[in-house]
């Protein structure tokens, strides 16, 4: 508009009045533009302060107020008697606030002598303090004992800028023996924070459950954080306290675990790799779920060190795997009492006999009894206490696989239990349908034969075996429980008729107390008799190993399921020793564990003798091993995965692979291993076996 006017006025003579006109017009334009800018500014301001007021008010408040969370004290994990399996230990630390130090070097020197810090550390601190800006505290030391803490605290008037703090760290009094069961704690990972956007998770020093019960009961144990609201300046100086709310400690979780028993059983496993599960037959309480070797949850909770992780990773006994829940093993002969129950349910008279000549031909293959010389005439009781394989080969052919598989499942094999655990493997109870689905092949007679002696495709966890022992012992559908708060279950459901139960109890008692395979498992009490069933599970084919010697990982697993007292069962359980070379590695442990349960002093005596031989308690041996490993490995160890989840995902994946190993020989003829014998009967020598083989051929 103005431009147009101007252009027209280009030709005419410029005079004072045209310039005045031009000035008026242009000044009006400029004034209008200025007025417009004024309105724009007023509008902008109204927009900021009215429309966006809410947003900026919040931002201003979050500038002004600094909310620092006080991490809640974690709830304790208690055993059945209220003794802590996981508790909190007062953790004393000392920080300094650089800005408040009058004479930094002198103060640090004084702290150094009070806390007996290394000269290196003192120099580092001086450097840190001189580099530090603002009001962020610098950590001087943590994990102090009370005396050091007190020494600093009383001198506070002379130590300006020094802040002693009291926090809590997780403490597991029994260390490695509860590692798998209880788990450990650690700082929340990025994923965990994604999943649960709780600001507590990113509070420095706060730790959440990373594995086991710590993870499972996270919400109960967590508690409610306290909070401290302070007004701060832009540079972080605290102007005043606005409000402080105390934390509320997390709820305790009371387990059915018997702490001393758990500790005892874990230590009793000794140098072996395996697990012990003990249940209360009256309630289903899991009294002990020990899995060794294990890791020390105390040191894991401080962060998993590279050397420690490398040591645990490289150990072929997989200390990171919870073998109670994630170890799957062919149950071996421990299934025989269950198979017997199936036979009786199907109407087999337990007194009906078969002649064992050391083997049985099924189809065109010959299946051996573990006793190459044969057991002679065998009825059901003898089948159990002498663990005669031929007895089961013979009657399983008559009864068929389906009732046997159903009975195994009813006893707990192939089942998952409603327990507060992060994961449990359910194993395999094979039957014709399962095999067809899985491999597309028909069930063969030899599959039945393998399954009746707990080999072939059959896999069970120690927990399942313990449950089966409890169900056989009581005749009830006992459900295991781990949390005192859940009611006992399954006692109203009768699994087996009383007379069958009594029969099996007696036969299993004879395994230990009669002419059975585990005479050395007898309890050192006159009035308490333990019943049990041995099992020896072959893991690789005969051509690779004889199961007793050679590489550790080719040796047979040793299994033992048990209950006591045999006539009125109070406790039941299972011991599984990986590659222990046979059931002889398992039942002495069961014996000592039960001894401890009935008479702790007697049990401890037995353990102490053994531990002297082994070279110390489990914790001592772990510590020593760590020291030796650290020395040997030096710096050349691979660091642990940065996410704790990766560690246990890897362990779980490997556990699944490991569980597949025995089924590689499922299609082979299993040569049952000699069961340990009561009176130290001579083991069959190789020549004897050749003769046996010939005899077996003739027998059919």
**CA 319 – CA 89 distance, rounded (Å):** 26
Cβ proximity to other proteins: between 59 and 124 the closer is: 59
Torsion of CA 521, 524, 526, 527, to 10 degrees: -80
Contact (Cβ atoms closer than 8 angstroms) between residue 535 and residue 559: yes
Contact (Cβ atoms closer than 8 angstroms) between residue 257 and residue 80: yes
Torsion of CA 410, 413, 417, 421, to 10 degrees: 170
**CA 66 – CA 105 distance, rounded (Å):** 30
What does the DSSP assignment read for 89-115? Answer: EEEEEEEE-GGG-SSHHHHHHHHHHHT
Distances (CA, A) of 274 to 324, 325, 617: 8, 11, 16
Q: Which of 241, 286, 187, 189 is nearest to 489 (CA)?
A: 286
Q: Which helix (H) or strand (E) holds 37?
A: helix 16-46
Strands 226-232 and 238-245: antiparallel
Nearest distance, CB of residue 64 and other proteins, angstroms: 4
Q: Which residues pair with 164 in a beta bridge?
A: 94
Nearest distance, CB of residue 7 and other proteins, angstroms: 7
Which tokens is 296 given?
């020390």
Strands 77-78 and 253-254: parallel
Cβ proximity to other proteins: between 230 and 669 the closer is: 230
Please report, as ranges, the residues that interact with other proteins according to CB under 8 A: 2-3, 6-7, 10, 13-20, 22-24, 26-27, 30-31, 34-35, 37-38, 40-42, 44-46, 48-50, 52-53, 55-57, 59-61, 63-64, 231-235, 239
The tokens 């005669």 sit on which residue?
Answer: 388
Distances (CA, A) of 393 to 389, 399, 449, 559: 6, 10, 5, 20
The tokens 């359910």 sit on which residue?
Answer: 426
Cβ proximity to other proteins: between 234 and 657 the closer is: 234
Cβ proximity to other proteins: between 23 and 146 the closer is: 23
Active site residues: 333
Q: Which of 453, 465, 380, 371 is nearest to 678 (CA)?
A: 371
Nearest distance, CB of residue 37 and other proteins, angstroms: 5
Which tokens is 564 given?
């006591």
Task: Tell me what percent of the chain is helix, strand and coil, each rounded to the nearest 5.
Answer: 45, 20, 35
Cβ proximity to other proteins: between 59 and 664 the closer is: 59
Cβ proximity to other proteins: between 55 and 502 the closer is: 55
Which tokens is 471 given?
């169900």
Nearest distance, CB of residue 45 and other proteins, angstroms: 5
Give the chain's radius of gyration (CA, Å): 36
**CA 494 – CA 476 distance, rounded (Å):** 5
Cβ proximity to other proteins: between 231 and 654 the closer is: 231
Nearest distance, CB of residue 41 and other proteins, angstroms: 5
Nearest distance, CB of residue 20 and other proteins, angstroms: 8
Nearest distance, CB of residue 35 and other proteins, angstroms: 7
CA 327 to chain centre: 12
DSSP tag of 365: E
**CA 474 – CA 393 distance, rounded (Å):** 27
Cβ proximity to other proteins: between 27 and 638 the closer is: 27
Contacts 24+ apart (CB under 8 A), 188-195: 189/643, 189/644, 189/645, 191/643, 191/645
**CA 329 – CA 175 distance, rounded (Å):** 27
Nearest distance, CB of residue 26 and other proteins, angstroms: 5
Distances (CA, A) of 68 to 71, 250, 531: 9, 19, 59
**CA 369 – CA 362 distance, rounded (Å):** 13
Cβ proximity to other proteins: between 53 and 685 the closer is: 53
Cβ proximity to other proteins: between 14 and 628 the closer is: 14
Cβ proximity to other proteins: between 7 and 133 the closer is: 7
Q: Which residues pair with 368 in a beta bridge?
A: 359
Nearest distance, CB of residue 65 and other proteins, angstroms: 9
């Amino acid at each position: 508009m103005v431009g147009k006017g101007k252009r027209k006025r280009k030709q005419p003579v410029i005079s004072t009045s045209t310039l005045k006109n031009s000035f008026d017009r242009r000044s009006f334009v400029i004034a209008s533009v200025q007025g417009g800018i004024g309105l724009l500014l007023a509008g902008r301001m109204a927009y900021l302060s009215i429309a966006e007021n809410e947003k900026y008010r919040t931002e201003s408040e979050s500038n002004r107020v600094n909310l620092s969370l006080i991490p809640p004290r974690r709830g304790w994990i208690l055993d059945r008697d209220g003794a802590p399996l996981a508790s909190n230990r007062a953790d004393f630390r000392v920080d300094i606030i650089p800005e408040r130090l009058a004479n930094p070097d002198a103060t640090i020197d004084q702290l150094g002598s009070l806390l007996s810090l290394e000269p290196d550390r003192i120099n580092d601190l001086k450097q840190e303090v001189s580099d530090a800006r603002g009001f962020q505290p610098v950590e001087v030391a943590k994990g102090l004992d009370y005396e050091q803490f007190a020494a600093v605290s009383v001198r506070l008037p002379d130590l300006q800028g020094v802040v002693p703090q009291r926090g809590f760290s997780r403490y597991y009094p029994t260390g490695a023996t509860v590692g798998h069961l209880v788990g450990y704690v650690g700082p929340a990972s990025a994923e965990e924070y994604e999943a649960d956007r709780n600001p507590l998770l990113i509070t420095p020093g706060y730790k959440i459950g990373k594995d086991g019960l710590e993870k499972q009961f996270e919400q109960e144990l967590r508690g409610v954080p306290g909070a401290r609201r302070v007004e701060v300046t832009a540079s972080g100086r605290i102007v005043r306290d606005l409000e402080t709310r105390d934390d509320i400690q997390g709820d305790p979780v009371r387990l059915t675990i018997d702490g001393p028993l758990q500790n005892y059983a874990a230590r009793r496993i000794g140098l072996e790799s395996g697990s012990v599960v003990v249940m209360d037959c009256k309630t289903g309480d899991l009294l002990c779920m020990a899995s060794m070797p294990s890791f020390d949850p105390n040191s894991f909770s401080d962060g998993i060190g590279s050397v420690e992780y490398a040591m645990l990773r490289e150990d072929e006994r997989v200390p990171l795997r919870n073998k109670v829940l994630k170890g799957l093993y062919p149950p071996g002969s421990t299934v025989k009492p269950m198979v017997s129950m199936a036979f009786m349910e199907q109407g087999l008279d337990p007194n009906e006999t078969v002649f064992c000549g050391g083997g049985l031909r099924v189809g065109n293959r010959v299946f051996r009894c573990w006793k190459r010389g044969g057991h002679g005439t065998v009825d059901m009781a003898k089948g159990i206490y002498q663990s005669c394989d031929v007895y089961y080969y013979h009657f399983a052919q008559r009864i068929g696989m389906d009732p046997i598989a159903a009975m195994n499942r009813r006893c707990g094999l192939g089942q998952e239990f409603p327990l507060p655990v992060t994961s449990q493997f359910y194993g395999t109870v094979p039957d014709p349908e399962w095999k067809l689905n899985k491999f597309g092949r028909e069930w063969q007679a030899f599959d039945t034969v393998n399954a009746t002696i707990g080999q072939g495709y059959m896999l069970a966890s120690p927990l399942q075996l313990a449950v089966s022992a409890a169900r056989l012992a009581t005749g009830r559908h006992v459900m295991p429980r781990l949390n005192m708060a859940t009611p006992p279950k399954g006692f109203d459901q009768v699994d087996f008729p009383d007379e069958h139960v009594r029969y099996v109890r007696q036969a299993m008692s004879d395994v230990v107390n009669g002419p059975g395979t585990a005479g050395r498992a007898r309890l050192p009490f006159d009035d308490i008799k333990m019943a049990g069933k041995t099992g020896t599970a072959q893991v690789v084919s005969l051509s690779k190993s004889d199961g007793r010697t050679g590489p550790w990982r080719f040796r047979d697993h040793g299994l033992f399921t048990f209950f006591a007292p045999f006539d009125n069962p109070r406790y039941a359980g299972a011991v599984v020793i990986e590659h222990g070379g046979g059931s002889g590695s398992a039942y002495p442990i069961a014996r000592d564990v039960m001894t401890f349960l009935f008479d702790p002093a007697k049990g401890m005596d037995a353990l102490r003798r053994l531990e002297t031989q082994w070279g110390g308690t489990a914790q001592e041996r772990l510590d020593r091993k760590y020291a030796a490993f650290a020395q040997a490995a030096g710096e050349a160890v691979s660091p642990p995965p940065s996410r704790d989840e990766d560690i246990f995902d890897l362990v779980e994946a490997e556990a699944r692979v490991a569980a597949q190993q025995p089924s590689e020989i499922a299609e082979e003829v299993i040569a049952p291993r000699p069961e340990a014998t009561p009176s130290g009967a001579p083991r069959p020598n190789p020549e004897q076996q050749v003769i046996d083989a010939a005899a077996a051929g003739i027998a059919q």
